[in-house]
Structure 1
Amino acid sequence: MKKLKVGFICVHNSCRSQMAEALGRLLAGEVFESYSAGTHVKPAINPDAVRIIKEHYGVDMRAKQHSKLLSDIPALDIVITMGCNVDCPMLPCRHREDWGLEDPSGQSDEVFLATAKQIEDNIQRLARRIGAGKFTGF
């Protein structure tokens, strides 16, 4: 069975969606392919997000990731919006959900860690749902 393509979408594709892409690859790479993108881009991934993910998960996001527009990623099976509090454009997909995460940018390491942990938990639940066949017919 081919792996589903999951896209983590946020406005600037510089923090939460990038963290989700990195953790998706790390924690669920055998279950689904992870991508991230935004409606706008920043020149670099949030340095606090890069540092927290590297320190706590051993993943260097700068090595394989960069800020991308929606048009820079392939067609997706599942779209996960991160909770941007804006209307995300309609992306063709077979399933969509919003994780409702607050942007930790400019906040303490504890807030970044809490956001990373919530993303980790959400990814593990998503991987279990995919593995259990909750998205049949894709």
Structure 2
Amino acid sequence: MKERYHIDMEAEGQHSKLLSDLPPVDGVITMGCNVACPSVPCAWREDWGLGDPTGQPDDVFLEVIRQIEEKILQLKERLR
């Protein structure tokens, strides 16, 4: 994220949050990654079925980032 989009999530204070700390949400997108995600009340949800790049080389992370960007742009068009 830092190299590709110049976003330093740690420097911007981003951190993991408890589900109880989240405001109500309209939709939930899960990434897939072959893990079970907690249930969050929402009007709609979808799973993007992405592979988990944990422990993989940087090029695998970059490919997953590319896939996320593509899916975000598709979602943006659908929500218009």
TM-score (ref. length: structure 1): 0.53
User: 1:89 Cα deviation (Å)?
Assistant: 3.1
Query: 1:108: which partner in 2?
Result: 57
Structure with higher RCO (Cα < 8 A, 6+ apart): 1
Whether 2:15 is the aligned partner of 1:66: answer yes
Whether 2:11 is the aligned partner of 1:79: answer no
Q: 1:64 to 1:126 in 2, by over 3 A?
A: farther
Aligned to 2:49, what secondary structure does the other structure show? coil
Q: Does the CA contact (< 8 Å) of 2:34 and 2:52 recur in 1?
A: no
Whether 2:4 is the aligned partner of 1:56: answer yes
In structure 2, runs of 5+ residues without a counterpart are none
CA RMSD of aligned residues (A): 1.3
Q: What is the percentage of aligned positions where both structures have the same residue?
A: 59
Q: 1:1-138 residue pairs with structure 2 within 5 A?
A: 53-62=1-10, 63-131=12-80
TM-score (ref. length: structure 2): 0.88
In structure 1, runs of 5+ residues without a counterpart are 1-52, 132-138
Amino acid at match of 2:71: N
Q: 1:64 to 1:130 in 2, by over 3 A?
A: farther
Amino acid at match of 2:72: I
Runs of 4+ in 1 over 3 A off after TM superposition: none
| CA distance in 2 between partners of 1:117 and 1:83 (Å) | 15
Q: How many residues align?
A: 79
User: 1:76 Cα deviation (Å)?
Assistant: 0.7
Aligned to 1:61, what secondary structure does the other structure show? coil
